[in-house]
Amino acid sequence: MTRVALLKCGAYDPMLIRKKMVEALNLIGLGPGIFEGKRVVIKPNLLSAAAAEKSVVTHPEFFRAALRMVRDHGGIPILCESPAFQPLAKVMKKTGYDRIVEEEGCEVADPRATDILFYDSPCRYKRFEISSAVFDADLILNLPKFKTHGLTYITGALKNLFGLIYGLNKSQWHLKARSKEEFSEFLLDYYSALLKGFEKPKVFIHLMDAVIGLEGEGPGVAGIPRKIGAILAGEDAVSVDAVATRVVGLRLEEVLTVTLGEKMGLGTGALETIDVRGESLDGFQIRDYVPSNASGRSAVSRWPLNTKTLKNLLVEKPVPSRERCTLCYQCKAICPGGAIGESKGESGIPFYDYDKCIRCYCCMEICPEAAIALERGKLQWLLGKRIK
């Protein structure tokens, strides 16, 4: 039975967090001694240049605690991350990671240095270009931030590993795998390659920052910070995500990386077969945690009448705000479908071609001003609810 540690933690105090991390590792049967003599890639969530209080990134003090734990137990820590659009140096400066790396001493992997991970399996996707630092590492310490997500319902342990793929290359995967189902299947093929595709298998440990999460229109600055007060740990990303989803009371059946991941034999998603250690699930009373309004869109992609017209009538679309938009065009740069163009006339906002829009919501994720909101299709307004 797979083990997941669940501990209460109400503040971003590095000493407290480190204590909880060590306790969590002991609970899942590892202990911090596992880092001794190892090259340890530390993978936080650094989606964009957002201040820590926005809860978009793994909190810098959470990262500091993990870094100290690795270093003080004989490991060699390497920060490895590739933000979706902005340069890593800019994101690190805005989030405070640059100061921590300098104060604590930590190598930072060049996100531009990549190698090909190929895994010849029955999966659809077999070839992935990822950070070279992973190939040289013995252990990957994954530090996901628990957040809602417009496409995958949540961002957790499994989705956070997507950040090992370089920058704008991520948007190309959205173009290849457009629907919620297809993108979840891609993520699982990718996770399968990470687990089984290296000549010498890597050790994966997932330590989730759920002290303060993000609800609503996550995973970017359009989301709303929400206190959860938890730290989770496990070797199985599927199980960690399943437990985290249950902690906040969201619908586990909507997390396809969990439900499909279990079917593919990549982890345990059924809560009754997960050995939760530390706090009980009943000890958390998180109520009314708000998912993204786009979370129900997956059913539309399965319809045989999935035309551009029906998509525009039945699926939420991203709409920029004239009041907030600064015309930085980060949305245009990241759009995998080429659906966003320059502002026309005096509109003051980028032009969106909704026939080309694949509803991946990358533009919402990356917008630094939270200037993009979801607007229901006309039939959704008439029906008075989202399509389930």
Please, are residues 363 and 382 in contact by the beta-carbon 8 Å criterion?
no
Per-residue pLDDT of the chain (388 residues; tens, 9 = 90+): 899 999 999 999 999 999 999 999 999 999 999 999 999 999 999 999 999 999 999 999 999 999 999 999 999 999 999 998 899 999 999 999 999 999 999 999 999 999 999 999 889 999 999 999 999 999 999 999 999 999 999 999 999 999 999 988 998 999 999 889 999 999 999 999 999 999 999 999 999 999 999 999 999 999 999 999 999 999 999 999 999 999 999 999 999 999 999 999 999 999 999 999 999 998 888 999 999 988 654 444 444 334 566 667 768 899 999 999 999 999 999 999 999 999 999 999 999 999 999 889 999 999 999 999 988 876 655 555 444 3
pLDDT score at 307:
57
Domain locations in the chain as residue ranges:
2-283, 295-383
The sign of the dihedral angle between the CA atoms of 225, 215, 187, 315 is: negative
Q: How far is CA 184 from the centre of its chain?
A: 12
Map 95-158 to HEC letters: HCHHHHHHHHCCEECCCCCEEEEECCCCCCCCEEEEEHHHHHCCEEEEECEEEEECCCEEECHH
Q: Which CATH number is 2-283 given?
A: 3.40.50.11440
Q: Which CATH number is 295-383 given?
A: 3.30.70.20
Q: What distances in angstroms separate CA 117 from CA 13, 84, 131, 135, 234, one per listed residue?
A: 37, 20, 10, 9, 24
Q: Specify the amino acid at residue 340.
A: I
pLDDT score at 294:
85
Which residues are CB-neighbours of 252 under 8 A, at least 6 positions away? 242, 245, 246, 258, 259, 269, 271
pTM over cut 0.85: yes
Q: Tokens 């190309």, residue?
A: 172
